[in-house]
Structure 1
């Protein structure tokens, strides 16, 4: 499958990632990507940037080395109501908003509580993609999550990092989520979740899950620039 964008990438601003914007853009250009999204963690993450960081992303050009740059956030869910760690005013100014449950940010809970928290997150009209829903640290009712993604028009992420170097034990959950996404016709976003420039655009293991379950390009957000832009445009309609 041909991927044209990587929509989940961290810079040194996240506090636990190790490459600059220029290094990331160069790596993306070298790998033939047409678009990347800079999605540093919101301020609730230890070591993460202050909220002011996300208001000043306008300083970054919209294109570097021929690669289109989306400027956004991987917002942290901070309570069971799905509240995020950026206010709506700042979320509204982002090109793209990812949201997910993270240790030290989201409250731990039962499967039912975690499921409710993730679904409440999807109800937020600014959220474009729910990230690493297969994380075993926050077990959820996976079918309920995928059904909610279909209902609220939110993309579900298949996170390559979860399947390789982080969030151990994610594979069976991501495998099931991919199966359910095919069943319910939910748009999938395949990401590197890169924390170092060398891994930008690395999708190999995640792509194997797509192939296993017969997920076609038209169901994958980042196989088309127009598909990405159309998905982001639908956020404005939700807010209205």
Structure 2
């Protein structure tokens, strides 16, 4: 099983993570990874007040080099799914002033952040809104999130413990060219006992339905970037097809992005 792209990592800007962007890049380079995606949290976990000023670190991602220490660098975010309709964080936060307080055309905070991201990972962290919904309704929630043009990946669905109909979501992801994440952090530490079985089931159905998967270490410190021992063990245990691993190398990942309508030249 070859994986040389890690497209779910965090930096200090996630507030509960501990490394800089360059430290994450160095960690990827040290392991001969070809591509790194940095995806800090875009979520109400970070701040009590949801303003452009608090999330301005996303609006300057353009200063990052595209290649750093020999690693292709993508600019992303991990955005929370916030309701049963599959809406994404920031969709209802209106912004009409720049960070300098200069007036600007009113837009949503989500639009402003997404403008600077190559892609987004959509994840459920607070599943309260899913508990009174049926599995079919929760499946539609995930599908609607996938329909956002900037969402490339559904994050850690095996760890979120949302009760949903799996096959319709995987079929929709496959048909849209989007990716389902197999997440190293979901298989480690306190997550492992509850997450191994659902993560294995997700991977098995992806293989059977022909849905491509992405890899994310979900690293919150640089020493975890590119670590995929547990994901490797899981995928190899079920003979998962290498052809469905979108993160096998940079060419495969960028090709998958291009086929899904993303700018593969990013």
Structure 1 CA distance for aligned equivalents of residues 118 and 157 of structure 2: 22
Aligned counterparts of 1:237 and 1:9: Cα–Cα separation in 2:
20
> Which segment drifts farther, 86-95 or 189-198?
86-95
The whole-number CA distance in structure 2 between the counterparts of 1:130 and 1:236 is 16
State whether structure 2 residue 40 is matched by structure 1 residue 40: yes
For residue 187 of structure 2, give the secondary structure of its aligned residue in structure 1. coil
Give me the whole-angstrom Cα distance separating, in 2, the residues matched to 1:230 and 1:221. Answer: 9
Paired residue secondary structure (1:79): coil
Please state if 1:100 is matched with 2:123: yes
Aligned to 2:101: none
| TM-score normalised by length of structure 2 | 0.82
CA contact (8 A) 2:9 2:37 kept: yes
Residue correspondences, number: 237
Specify the SS of the correspondent of 1:128: strand
Residue 183 of structure 1, CA deviation = 0.5
Question: What are the ranges of 5 or more consecutive residues in structure 1 without an aligned counterpart?
Answer: none
Q: Evaluate the alpha carbon distance shift between residue 145 and residue 223 of structure 1 in structure 2; reply closer, same or farther with a 3 A threshold.
A: same
CA distance in 2, matches of 1:204, 1:101: 24
Please give the secondary structure, in 1, of the residue aligned with 2:247: helix
Q: Which residue of 84, 88, 95 corresponds with 1:84?
A: 88
* 2:138 alignment partner, SS class: helix
136 and 89 in structure 1: CA distance in 2 versus 1, 3 angstrom threshold: closer
Cα RMSD over matched residues? 2.2
Would you say the 8 A contact 1:77–1:84 is kept in 2? yes
Q: Deviations over 1:19-43 (max 9, x none)?
A: 1111111111111111100000104
Return the match for 1:159 from 172, 183, 202: 183
State the 1:139 CA deviation. Answer: 2.5
> Equivalent residue for 1:182?
207
When residues 144 and 236 of structure 1 are mapped into structure 2, their CA distance, relative to the original with a 3 A threshold, is closer
Of 216, 223, 235, 2:241 maps to 216
Q: Any unmatched runs of 5+ in structure 2?
A: 91-109
Contact 2:79–2:123 (Cα < 8 Å) also in 1: yes
Tell me which structure has the larger Cα radius of gyration: 2
Q: Does 1:202 align with 2:227?
A: yes
Asked whether 1:229 is paired with 2:254, we answer yes
Deviations, residues 60-82 of structure 1 (Å, cap 9, x unaligned): 22222111110110111111111
When residues 83 and 166 of structure 1 are mapped into structure 2, their CA distance, relative to the original with a 3 A threshold, is: farther
